[in-house]
Amino acid sequence: MNKGVAVADSSFDVVSKVDRQEVDNALHQAAKELSTRFDFRNTGASIDWSGEEAITLTADTEERLLAALEVFKEKLIRRDISLKAFDAGEPAQSGKIYKLTGTLVQGITTENAKKISKKIRDEGPKGVKAQIQGDELRVSSKKRDDLQAIISLLKGEDFGIALQFVNYR
């Protein structure tokens, strides 16, 4: 009794993850630039980790604080880290110092996962399935070409978070 072998679905995972080591490298490069650049001298400009996912920037003036933030963003871009992966807060004055705390955005929220899977259902090829699995999304189909089409579709859309496509099989 040999039954026909079902063709295994191909799949990939949609995730939103940040390589913390690369962010750390970008932070150290930014800190070094802030300590050596002439226009940041005597402005108290600094950048540091504050916890696992948070980064705090400080400076004497709001202008210098925003300039320091730009330096950090530039370093992130150079290391291929999407700016969507860093949620910069608003500058706040604390005594004589201006502070800004930003957080790393990781994982796909249930709300975003629903938006992404709706997009796949509405505009993707028929027969493509999307399953929410924790903070990621598994997309599967019998046809690999359909998966390529889905990746293109999602890359062309802005969900407000950095998306990566992993475990393609």
Per-residue CA distances from 60 to 47, 55, 90, 102 (Å): 13, 17, 15, 18
Which domains, and CATH codes, for the chain?
10-16+108-166 (3.30.70.860), 20-104 (3.30.70.990)
- pLDDT tens digits along 50-106: 988 999 999 999 999 999 999 999 999 999 999 999 999 999 998 999 999 999 999
Mean pLDDT, range 139-161, rounded to an integer: 92
Enumerate residues 6+ apart whose C-beta is below 8 A from 51: none
Q: How many other C-beta atoms are found inside a 10 Å radius of the C-beta of residue 137?
A: 23
Predicted local confidence at residue 78, as pLDDT: 96
Tens of pLDDT, residue by residue over 121-139, are 999 999 999 999 999 999 9
CA distance 100 to 111: 27
**Residue 141: Cβ-neighbour burial (10 angstroms; 0-12, 13-18, 19+):** buried
Query: pLDDT tens digits, residue range 136-148?
Result: 999 999 998 999 9
29/75 Cα distance (integer angstroms): 7
Residue 9: its pLDDT value, please? Answer: 84
Retrieve residue 94's tokens: 């604390």
